[in-house]
Amino acid sequence: MADPIRIAIAGALGRMGQAVAKVVEADPALALIARFDRPGSEGEGLVTLAEALAAADVIIDFTTPSASVELARQAAGHDVALVIGATGATDDQRAAIAQAAQQTAIVFAGNYSLGVNMLMGLVAQAARALPAEVYDVEIFEAHHRHKVDAPSGTAFMLGEAAARGRGVNFKDVARRTRDGITGERPIGEIGFSVLRGGGIVGEHSVTFAAEDEILTLSHSGRDRGLFARGAVASAKWVAGKPPGLYDMQDVLGFSKD
Question: Whole-structure pTM over 0.85, yes or no?
Answer: no
Phi, psi (rounded to 5 degrees) for 218: -145, 160
Does the pLDDT of residue 110 top 70, yes or no? yes
* Catalytic residue check, 146: no
> What tens digit of pLDDT does each residue of 120-141 get?
989 999 999 999 999 999 999 9
- Could you report how far apart the first and last alpha carbons of the chain are, in Å? 38
Does the pLDDT of residue 162 top 80, yes or no? yes
The one catalytic residue in 78, 147, 236, 241 is: 147
- Which residues, in sequence order, are CB contacts of 247 under 8 Å at separation 6+? 107, 108, 109
The one catalytic residue in 143, 146, 171, 204 is: 143
How far is Cα 129 from Cα 103, in angstroms, rounded to an integer?
40
Average pLDDT score over residue span 221-243: 92
Considering the segment(s) 114-221 as one domain, its CATH architecture is: 2-Layer Sandwich (3.30)
Does the pLDDT of residue 1 top 70, yes or no? no
Domain extents in the chain? 5-108+224-252, 114-221
* 114-129 vs 153-166: helix crossing angle, rounded to 10: 30
Q: What is the pLDDT of residue 2?
A: 80
With cut-offs at 50, 70 and 90, classify the pLDDT of residue 256: low
* Catalytic residue check, 144: no
**Topology (CATH) of 5-108+224-252:** Rossmann fold (3.40.50)
Does the pLDDT of residue 257 top 70, yes or no? no
- Which residues, in sequence order, are CB contacts of 62 under 8 Å at separation 6+? 10, 11, 14, 16, 17, 20, 85, 86, 231
**Sheet strands (E) in 11-46:** 30-36
How far is Cα 186 from Cα 190, in angstroms, rounded to an integer?
9
Average pLDDT score over residue span 24-49: 90
With cut-offs at 50, 70 and 90, classify the pLDDT of residue 255: low
Phi, psi (rounded to 5 degrees) for 140: -115, 140
